[in-house]
Structures are given as structure tokens and as C-alpha cells.
Amino acid sequence: EIPWCGPIDVPISSPSSQHQCKICQKVLKKKGALTVHLRTHNKGSPKVRRRVKRMCPFCKDSQTNLKRHLIMKHNGKPEVTAILQMKLTPAEERKAFARIRNQGILIGNSEKNGENLERIHGNKSEYVHGDVVHCSVCQGAYSKTTFHRHRVSCQNNATQLKPEVAHLPHPKFAILLSKFQKNEIGDTCRSDSTIREFGWNLFQKEKTKVDKFDEVCKSVSADMRLLARLFCHLKLTVPDDVCLHDASDLLDRGNWTHLREVIDLLTSKESGEVKHGLKMAIYYILLKFADNQIGVKLTQKDTQGQTEEIQNFIKLLKHHENSYFGDAKYQINKSRQEKLRLPERMPEENAMRILRDHTVKRIVEIVKESGEGIQDPSVFVELRNLVASRLTLFNARRGGEATRLRIDHWVKRKQWIRKDQKDHLKDEEKAFFNDMEIMFSAGE
């Protein structure tokens, strides 16, 4: 017989199906019960949410409750008075005060040197290093990588601006400054007041060319970058006891020797040859910068001595035009008159014939496929480039006008022909108007 050992306890669930708390070692049957149990251990240390301080754009003080501060201290300001007088819903009022808050954040970020910039992301505020841009429409601060989400809810024409330039009253020029890269040259273009003023002067001269806005921006940016390169290299060349304040120190005659060293460094190739085009570009950019600084000094009082110093620098620069810059000027003229006309630089007849046949064939194909109108922008751009190639290479005409041709210009082409005068033309002249299209290209 088997001896009686008493009742045997059979577990209801296996140990693998049980969940044990790692803090108090309590065993729970379900995972959800363990989650609820763990919350009991966190009751002793609740998280404290601190309110973020916002800068007031009027008094520059940081406030934990900016709305209350604006109503109590700055209710006489037009921006605050307009909000209080209008009957706004709570949501509209929050949005109106948010615009003032964004202005304060913009002022705070513009005064910092790229460190601890404040950024708004949803309902949270974070402080980051460098990766912050401001909206050109609402001036809000956002991450550069997530700005496209805000653009959808704000406006499609909103662009991202760097904090250093987003406060400028000229939005188009601020966009130009924001496109500079985040490096020493780009930071100098944005932060140096003399270079920025020089760029604004060039931008003002060229802004009337409304159809050439991209070309104007490229030209102004190139001049500003070249001036910033000269100034950055000059800071590395001068002795340690010489203090440079801004790019206007390039026009100091005492730095002429060091400036020549910088020009030699920038215009020299590894093979020992000289970049003649860059050397002449530096000569003309210094003349333009000096002329701009004279105009700035003339608007200020008690600057006659500084104006005379800049005029003396211009005399010094022109004195060395033939001696120091003469080799570059001679080589450029020689290349323009001789090298570009050499037979080996002329295109081959067979290659030109192949290009001509392809251009004519492709133009005919696009016109037949499109029918009455071109809807695809890529097809229009291809046709425009083919026409520009035809005008430039085979008709010895400038192709700039055709490359700037837009669809809206092409649609209005019929209005340049007077129908009442067309009936008085000869038959061969009428055929000319039936086969050709006449239009006017603005910007020239």
C-alpha cells in the first residue's frame, strides 16, 4: 500500500504567468494589475511642472504670466489696447497675445550668440543650440526640421529666418540673409553691421528689377560673401596687438600691407598661378564698399575725418590699379580678345549640326504634343530652354529674355498685335504674323 501523505496543493497558475514587483517583491496575476501597483510607489515624488518665463517685448523682462503682465503694465501700448478693445473669443485672444509672445522670443533669440535659443514646439518650450528658425509671417520660433509642419497651418508663403535677421523690417532682405550657410563667412555676413548695410545698399539699387529677383539675390550674396572672406582672413593676418572691429577696417590704410597678403593668399592657386578674375573682383568690391561707407559717413555728424580717410584709401587703391592689379587686368583682356577666339575653342561643325537638328526636332514635338496650351511646367521649361538655345547659338541673340519667360507672359502674347492694323498688311506679311508669335519680355 502507498502511505497517505496528506492533500497536495495544486497552484492555480504557473509561475511564468505571474508578475512580480521588483520594488516590494509582491506577486500579481495580471500585467495590468502590476502597472497599477507600480503607480503606488511613485506617489511620494510627484513631478513639479515649472512655468516657462517669457520675455516681454516692451520692457525686456522675463515673466511667468506674460498675459497678466501686458494687461497690468503695458495696457497703454497700441498692440495691447487693440486686443483689449476688440470683442474676441478666448481662442482668438490667446492667438493675439501669442503674436506678442513670439515677438519677445524673437528679441531674446536675436540677442543671443546661437546658444540656448528658445523654441516653441506644440505646448512645450525648449532651449536648444542653433537649430531654431523663425516664421516670416507670425515670427514664431520652431525647429528647423519641423518647420514644414507649421508652414501648412500658417501660410504657404512663410519662410524660415535665422534669429539674427528675423527682426529686420525688410522681409525680402531678411530672407536673403537667412540663406547664408551656418559658418564663419555666413555668420559674418549676418552679424557685421557694415557688411549688412553694404548688402542692403546693393539690394536697394537692384530691387527695381522685379523680374530678376533671383539674379539680384545671387549677385548681392556673392559680393557680401567676398567682403566677409576678406575680413575673416584679415583678422588672421594682422598682429595680435591690432584690434579689428568690423569690415570697415579693410579701408584702413594702416592695414594695406596685411590686406595685400590676404589678396595674394586668396588669389593664388596651388600650382602657383593667379586667379585673375577673383583679383579684379576684389579690386572692384573694395571700391564699391568704400563708396558705400562714404555715403554712410556723410549722413552722420562729426565724421569728416573718417570720410577723408576713406577717400585717401580710394586714392591708394587706384594708385596700385596698374602696379598691383595690372597683371590681372591684362590677362583678362588678353583672354577675352585672343584665347576665346582661337580655332580650337570654336565648336565643331558636326556637333553644332547635331545640336541644331535636335533643337528643332524637339521644339516641333513639344508643340504638336501640347496642342493649344502647355499645362506641365517641366515641359514648358524644356521648351523655353530649347528656344533660348536656338536664339543664343544659331541666331547670335541674347538668351536671357527667353529663359525668364513665364507661362503668364506666353498667355498674353496675343495682346501685342493690333488686329485693326493687321488687315492693311500685305499677304506675305500676314503669313509672317500667322506663323510667328510676338510678345514682350519685361525686365530689360
| Comparison of pLDDT for 255 and 45, the residue scoring more | 255
Instruction: Answer yes or no: is 284 within a domain.
Output: yes
Instruction: Answer yes or no: is 395 within a domain.
Output: yes
Instruction: Answer yes or no: is 1 within a domain.
Output: no
Residues 73, 161: one domain? yes
Domain hosting 22: range is: 11-44
CB 385 within 8 A of CB 403: yes
Residues 188, 308: one domain? yes
pLDDT tens profile 261-320: 888 888 888 887 888 888 889 888 988 998 888 888 888 877 788 888 888 888 888 888
Our count of domains for the chain comes to 4
Segment among 9-18, 53-62, 360-369 with least mean pLDDT: 9-18
C-alpha of 345 from chain center = 38
pLDDT band at 14 (very low <50, low <70, confident <90, very high): very low
Dist CA 278 CA 303 (whole Å):
32
C-alpha of 1 from chain center = 96
**Percent of the chain residues topping a pLDDT of 70:** 73
Residues 298, 387: one domain? no
- Which grid cell is 169? 523690417
pLDDT tens profile 354-369: 888 898 899 888 888 8
Domain end among 132, 151, 167: 167
Dist CA 384 CA 366 (whole Å):
11
Residues 66, 143: one domain? yes
Kindly calculate the radius of gyration of the chain based on its CA atoms and give it in whole angstroms.
35
Dist CA 369 CA 374 (whole Å):
9
Does residue 108 carry a pLDDT above 80? no
Residues 338, 356: one domain? no
SS3 sequence of the chain: CCCCCCCCCCCCCCHHHCEECCCCCCEECCHHHHHHHHHHHHCCCCCCCCCCCEECCCCCCEECCHHHHHHHHCCCCHHHHHHHHCCCCHHHHHHHHHHHHHHHHHHHHHCCCCCCEEEEECCEEEEECCCEEEECCCCCEEECCCHHHHHHHCCCCCCEECCCCCCCCCHHHHHHHHCCCCCHHHHHHHHCHHHHHHHHHHHHHHCCCHHHHHHHHHHHHHHHHHHHHHHHHHHHHCCCCCCCCCHHHHHCHHHHHHHHHHHHHHCECCCCCECHHHHHHHHHHHHHHHHHHHHHHHCCCCCHHHHHHHHHHHHHHHHCCCCCCHHHHHHHHHHHHCHHHCHHHCCCHHHHHHHHHHHHHHHHHHHHHHCCCCCCHHHHHHHHHHHHHHHHHHCCCCCHHHHCCCHHHHHHHHHHCCHHHHCCCCHHHHHHHHHCCCCCCCCC
pLDDT band at 13 (very low <50, low <70, confident <90, very high): very low
Residues 311, 390: one domain? no
Residues 303, 183: one domain? yes
Per-residue pLDDT at 444? 46
CB 328 within 8 A of CB 280: yes
Segment among 15-19, 255-259, 426-430 with least mean pLDDT: 15-19
pLDDT tens profile 158-209: 776 766 666 566 777 777 887 888 788 888 888 888 888 888 888 887 666 6
Instruction: Answer yes or no: is 26 within a domain.
Output: yes
Q: How many residues does the chain have?
A: 444
Per-residue pLDDT at 172? 75
Beta-bridged to residue 133, according to DSSP, are: 142
CB 29 within 8 A of CB 13: yes
Instruction: Answer yes or no: is 5 within a domain.
Output: no
| Comparison of pLDDT for 66 and 117, the residue scoring more | 66
Question: Closest by alpha carbon to 386, among 412, 372, 367?
Answer: 367
Instruction: Answer yes or no: is 372 within a domain.
Output: yes
Q: How many other CB atoms are there within 10 angstroms of residue 116's CB atom?
A: 12
pLDDT band at 12 (very low <50, low <70, confident <90, very high): very low
| Comparison of pLDDT for 343 and 331, the residue scoring more | 331
Residues 152, 174: one domain? no
CB 399 within 8 A of CB 389: yes
Neighbouring residues of 374: CB distance < 8 A, sequence distance ≥ 6: 366, 380, 383, 407, 410
Instruction: Answer yes or no: is 279 within a domain.
Output: yes
| Comparison of pLDDT for 400 and 164, the residue scoring more | 164
Residues 367, 278: one domain? no
| Comparison of pLDDT for 419 and 319, the residue scoring more | 319
- Which grid cell is 324? 598691383
Parallel, antiparallel or unpaired: strands 124-128 and 54-55? unpaired
pLDDT band at 2 (very low <50, low <70, confident <90, very high): very low
Residues 24, 86: one domain? no
**Mean pLDDT, rounded, of the chain:** 76
CA-to-CA separations, 234 to 173, 240, 266, 279, in angstroms, rounded = 27, 12, 11, 16
Residues 280, 191: one domain? yes
The reported pTM is 0.57
Instruction: Answer yes or no: is 441 within a domain.
Output: no
Per-residue pLDDT at 138? 76
Question: Closest by alpha carbon to 96, among 113, 109, 114, 77?
Answer: 77
Residues 155, 296: one domain? no
pLDDT band at 8 (very low <50, low <70, confident <90, very high): very low
Does residue 123 carry a pLDDT above 50? no
pLDDT band at 439 (very low <50, low <70, confident <90, very high): low
